[in-house]
Amino acid sequence: MDFGLTEEQKMVQDMARNFAEKEIAPYVEEDEKNHYYRREILTKMGELGLLGWSIPEEYGGNGMGWMEGVIALYEIAKVHTSWRLSISGNCWGPAMTINEYGTEEQKQKWIPKLLDGTWAGSFAITEPNTGSDVASMKTFAEDKGDHWLINGTKTWISGGHTSDVGLLYAMTDKGKGAKGMSCFIIDYNNTPGVQRIPMEDKVGMYAAPTSELIFEDAVVPKENLLGGLNKGFFICMWQLNNTRMGCAVGGAALSRACLDGCIQYANERYQFGVPIGKHQMVQQQIAEMILEDEAAKQLVYRAAWLKDNKLPSQKATSTAKLAGCLASVHAANLAMKIYGSYGYSNEYPCGRWLRDCKQFETLEGTSNMHMQIIANIELGFAPDR
């Protein structure tokens, strides 16, 4: 595998970097302080084609693949990791899943507006008592003949109360576990019986909206079933193998943000008459960050390469996600040490890095679950899909 960037990929990188520096960077601290989601950024991302990775051009895709998407998202997430969720919420989640499992009518209706930023997207899996054990969910969709009637609660849903359209996973055959789950496309602006509650009291990710969704006799059209009755568990696992790339890239990018900040600070801060970067212990910490950052980024590239070449990528995706998580958490901890007392103030971004890195240990599968996925595939207990 050759990970040297092509001229086109360098152009994508430059475009994404310039966008992040111009449209996101000026508002990071203000939006963090106010817990503010700046919706117009999503629209601008759509206008530039930053939401259309690996989707056919006939539905509004940008004609480029996973590698280009990873390169672009890395530049965006490095500036503010909250905005990595937009690509997962719109492209690698709903749009890609509808493209894979939807009818032609569903593709034409839903995908273009997700990719051009007209609509914000989401997907709802987690429930108050359902996390890693996806098949234990209780949200139930009852077939009422001419529509579905949905009841249940979803929680920790990224973009749940700000999205226009999203995927909802619910049971359609009680008692059958994974074999009784289905996937639905939800038009949140036109679906009665849905209450969407912002979850403001979070440790981090302040500029990324998180929600609780309550479905009380929510009426959903029959044609909004995606991929067939009771096929939801397989669809969910397929989707997670894609959206987890957003976490993998986000972790690697946050690790790099910490590293860049520490390098700058270590050259500016003087102690004992020299920049602190001259001291061996600081150099050791910088070296550790470089090692883990480079490893995480290369693992992300490898997973993207496998996906672009239609090769099994589940193990590679979980490995990249876990590596990004470990790199970002370690880097954020080391940044607090290198910045010293200033790292504990809001004058510098160390606190934000530390708060935001912890998401990667839980979202899109806990670190424990990804270790299990990796080990089971390597041991031959599960196939690599």
Domain with residue 69: its CATH number is 1.10.540.10
Range of the domain at 44: 7-119
Which segments of the chain have a pLDDT < 50? none
Boundary (domain end) residue, out of 201, 228, 255: 228
Split into its structural domains, the chain has a count of: 3
Catalytic residues: 364
What pLDDT, on the 0 to 100 scale, is given for residue 1? Answer: 62
What pLDDT, on the 0 to 100 scale, is given for residue 2? Answer: 67
How far apart are alpha carbons 62 and 91 in whole angstroms? 11
The SS3 call for residue 340 is: helix
The SS3 call for residue 152 is: strand
In this structure, the answer to whether residues 242 and 224 fall within a common structural domain is: no
What pLDDT, on the 0 to 100 scale, is given for residue 350? Answer: 97
**Phi and psi torsions of 327, nearest 5°:** -65, -45
What pLDDT, on the 0 to 100 scale, is given for residue 290? Answer: 97
Say if 385 falls within a structural domain. no
pTM of the model: 0.95
Say if 372 falls within a structural domain. yes
Alpha helices in the chain (DSSP H): 7-19, 28-34, 39-47, 66-79, 85-87, 96-101, 104-115, 232-268, 280-308, 314-339, 350-357, 367-378
Domain with residue 166: its CATH number is 2.40.110.10
Q: How far is CA 233 from CA 39, 315, 365, in A?
A: 31, 18, 15
Amino acid at 332: A
What pLDDT, on the 0 to 100 scale, is given for residue 166? Answer: 97
How far apart are alpha carbons 98 and 100 in whole angstroms? 5
In this structure, the answer to whether residues 84 and 135 fall within a common structural domain is: no
Say if 383 falls within a structural domain. no
Give pLDDT tens digits for 34-86: 999 999 999 999 999 999 999 999 999 999 999 999 999 999 999 999 999 98
